[in-house]
A and B are shown apart, each in its own frame.
Chain A
């Protein structure tokens, strides 16, 4: 005498199918909506108005805009975009709503500064942005680190980098590496040791996975940049000693010059050319290296590029 089974089954099926359908449609809508969404992000970029609109929940709104900024960058990067015009406005709104959202300044520090497609390619804006973050959060020593990195790597302004690292090193509780980096910037501007120090610090201090991975790749590249000249120097000494070029590394191992076959960080053996140059076998697996590139390859800020 309950409701008929037929009705129950029918309407239950409707609920399940309709909800499933709605999920599919939502995913379709994500694509169709992108244009409208960007404009909306633009319109609401008057942060003061937004702050008032959020009725005191500006922290929550900041979090929402922060999520949108990350999403914006991530999805565009996946599509291989070459510019990110809305990244700065989104981060700007985020930090105006919540000036203490340090992670937003860090994110901006990295991804506003880097060259496209890994970033917006706006290092000056990035530096200014991080400076703003420092003004609002003078005790966030990580931000000084971001700032120094921007000046050192992207803008190649070693004096500004030194200043940034030095200011940061004076913050109580700052990572001791900041002092080293300040010194390194001043004395060893442009050398691999300073660069390695920099990237190691980035790797250790950040909690953002994408930034960490990026630093790891740079560190691997630095190892190659060190190993290749070392190997080439060793080959030269062999030539000086024996009067001829070794035909390959096996010969040098057999002769006791090397303990084992030298491999690059990806595990592939280095290649020895007739003219004594050392190369990596597979440059695509080692972005950011500047030494050991086979002919035809060019190192750029983006990584290895095949010259046409």
Chain B
């Protein structure tokens, strides 16, 4: 079973790599280098802060874009092109297929983020000429970005298992944006009363709560990231993504592949 999972995951990864979507890395690297040069000219004293904010925001946006772009097609493209039929005619369970696709895309995104991070560190070094000990927290911030991408991918996969690519893209992107404000929605809900309060709370908990993954501004000011936060965020990402992928399996398992 696990070798089938690995095969599907690796194949998904291979498809993403050869799809040339990942050549955004080159674009990204160029953008960063340009930004680094500009930033060096115009904001004295806070180059590091601005660079970290810019760079990490860009890494997040690129990552989310790829996660959605590829994620929405994970299932629907296979159905449309009928490649799925020959796979499922083999001793491959439907849940193995979904899980394999998910792992493949997560792997792709991890590798992608890694390369973007390398580009970022190179640009940062070019700008400030030395690293500080507190830069270790930058890795935590990057890790949190990857966790966010895992969640977004799971959500995109869930939508892909039953709706069209366009709708999946819109819904996934919306969930990502709103997810960043889910904590505010919960605060809002605590000011309400009655039915609307429970409704708002329910929605706020079902949405992906992404605010705790955003430590970019803290690490930009060289503040450390508490270990507890790392652990809890990891737990949340695994649980939420797990729920979404399991949901995708449930939908896909009973779908008539017309």
Contacts and interface: CB of A to CB of B under 8 A. Distances in A.
B39 interface: no
Interface string A56-77: 0000000010011011000000
A2 B249 CA distance: 14
B232 interface: yes
A256 to B, nearest CB: 50
B229 A23 contact: no
Contact of A40 (B206, B214, B226): B214
B77 interface: no
A11 B249 contact: yes
Interface residues of A, number: 32
A21 B209 CA distance: 13
A57 B179 CA distance: 17
Contact of B232 (A11, A25, A37): A25
A29 interface: yes
B252 to A, nearest CB: 9
Interface stretch (B9-17, B22-30, B126-134, B234-242): B234-242
Interface in A1-36: 2-3, 7-8, 11-12, 14-15, 18-19, 21-23, 25-26, 28-30, 32-33, 35-36
A44 B214 CA distance: 13
B205 A23 contact: yes
Given A29-B236, A64-B181, A14 B218 contact: no
A22 B243 contact: yes
B152 interface: no
Interface residues of B, number: 40
A32 B217 contact: no
B236 A25 contact: yes
B221 A14 contact: no
A14 B239 CA distance: 9
Contacts of B181: 64
Nearest to A14: B246
Nearest to B221: A39
A44 B217 contact: yes
Q: Which 7 A/B pairs are nearest by Cβ-Cβ distance?
A: A18-B243, A14-B246, A43-B217, A71-B187, A3-B253, A22-B239, A21-B239
21 contacts: A2-B254, A19-B243, A21-B239, A22-B240, A25-B236, A26-B205, A29-B212, A30-B183, A32-B212, A35-B226, A36-B212, A36-B223, A36-B229, A39-B217, A39-B223, A40-B214, A40-B218, A43-B220, A64-B184, A67-B188, A71-B190
